[in-house]
Amino acid sequence: MFGQVDLFIDYLAVERNSSPNTRLGYARDLSQFYAFLKSEPRCLGPGGEVDIERIDEPAVSGFIYALFRSNKKITIARKLSSIRSFFRFLVKKGLAKANPAECVSAPRVERFLPTVLTVEEAKSLIEAPGSALEGRDESPSILRDLAILEVLYSSGIRVSELTGLDAGSVDIEAGTIRVLGKGNKERIAYLGDHAKESLRLYMDRERPSGGGPLFIGGKGGQGGGNKQRRLTPRTVQRLVKKYTATSGINKTPTPHSLRHTFATHLLDAGVDLRSIQELLGHSKLSTTQRYTKVGVKAMMEAYDAAHPRARSKKQGESF
């Protein structure tokens, strides 16, 4: 089976132009599925290897059932989707007769509105590193952290896009950054005055001159030696959590929350969805339309709080 998985991953890279992270996700899901099948005698051929033609619907259902013990529904649904895509590829290439995952039901995934900050909450979070500076925190990462938060909120880019930025991707004077998004698609994102100033301070005072990663951590990392290490998305997640705690916000935002907040604030200010779609780098408008739900929710909350006839008498109707 591993040979077919390798062919599928190559197909994703060459024909679908999928990102490395997407390919890695498929590979992990299919490796876990393979490990499960190794314990299913009916799926094994001569020599004890998994035989693609022996994988049936009950085998896929058994794998999905086993996942419920320690996985969230959204994770299970993604793994089932990976298996379906894998077998669709095999059927298309004539390497399998049928797709045993096609009729397996995915768990119903609850849809939650993303965490979105108000303008004041976003301001408090982004200015938290500045408060640390005023408090004489001598950590050399303060200006870097401030620049990261400003860029995330100002441009709306994904955290993976932020950590993938190189110094040469930024034109501070023009207020633009070249971003390599999903599917290796390049686009231009924009920076406001606060983000430009924060980046300028970081690059002038903290970051060594020259090329390489824009946002760096300690020495070592990939390649070892004295190379400056590119920050990981996990590091950015930790710093958002850190400054959320010091800002007094009663929410749990993530780096992706700043992307949602960016889009929601533009929507609330009257920017049309097509423009927001371009700024976010979405290939489909339907993906961008998720942000309208946040705007509608905020409007309904404002309506309920303000209109004298919005709520019933049991909830405190005034007349």
Report domain extents, the chain: 2-92, 119-249
CA distances in angstroms from 150 to 104, 122, 142, 147, 162, listed in the order given? 44, 10, 12, 5, 11
Distant-in-sequence, close-in-space partners of 295: CB < 8 Å, separation ≥ 6: 264, 267, 268
Residue 197 near residue 157 (C-beta atoms within 8 A) = no
Whether 2-92 and 119-249 share one fold: the answer is no
- Output the pLDDT for position 67: 93
CA pair distance 31, 229, nearest whole angstrom: 29
- Output the pLDDT for position 226: 42
Structure tokens at 292: 């309208």
- Output the pLDDT for position 294: 65
- Output the pLDDT for position 222: 40
What residues act catalytically?
158, 182, 256, 259, 282, 291
Q: If you ran DSSP here, which 8-state letter would residue 166 be given? A: B
pTM: 0.66
CA pair distance 133, 155, nearest whole angstrom: 24
Per-residue pLDDT tens over the stretch 114-132: 788 999 999 999 999 877 6
Q: Which residue ranges of the chain lie beneath pLDDT 70?
A: 110-113, 132-140, 218-227, 291-302, 309-319
Q: Which helix (H) or strand (E) holds 5?
A: helix 2-14
Q: How far apart are the first and last CA of the chain?
A: 70
- Output the pLDDT for position 223: 40
Residue 63 near residue 33 (C-beta atoms within 8 A) = yes
Assign 48 to helix, strand or coil.
Answer: helix
Tell me which CATH code domain 119-249 carries: 1.10.443.10
CATH of 2-92, one of 1.20.1070, 3.30.1890, 1.10.3470, 1.10.150: 1.10.150
